[in-house]
Amino acid sequence: MMNLKVRMKNPVFVVQLILSILTPILGYAGISAQELTSWKTLGTVLMEAIGNPYVLSLVAVSLWNALNDPTTHGLSDSKQALEYTQPKKDVK
């Protein structure tokens, strides 16, 4: 089990999820972020990606990498992380 409620409170995690979806799609389409000048263009690129099994598999792998915590076994968060209600802040 993952503590997605807490992870979604971390802006870095949210940006990581967005990039893990967009980067493989834009890379496959050969489009840079600077070329996305309208919502229509972005919508077209996303719709083409949805119809392409290869691109969807790239997105799935990218999402797996964004969600997976390599310090724990499997996809679960640690028992300690599952108890968090807010992202942990390191004390320095």
**In the chain, how many domains are there?**
1
8, 14 in Cβ contact below 8 A?
yes
In a domain, 12, yes or no: yes
49, 59 in Cβ contact below 8 A?
yes
Domain of residue 36, residue span: 4-69
In a domain, 17, yes or no: yes
In a domain, 46, yes or no: yes
In a domain, 74, yes or no: no
Q: Residue 47 phi/psi, 5° resolution?
A: -65, -40
CA 72 to chain centre: 19
Residue 28: its H or E element: helix 11-29
Residue 6 pLDDT > 80: yes
In a domain, 89, yes or no: no
In a domain, 90, yes or no: no
pLDDT per position as a tens digit, 28-47: 999 887 888 899 988 999 99
29: alpha, beta or left, given left = phi > 0 and alpha = psi -120 to 50? alpha
How many residues are given for the chain?
92
In a domain, 62, yes or no: yes
pLDDT-based confidence at residue 73 (cuts at 50, 70, 90): confident
In a domain, 78, yes or no: no
Q: Given this model, what pLDDT does residue 70 score?
A: 81
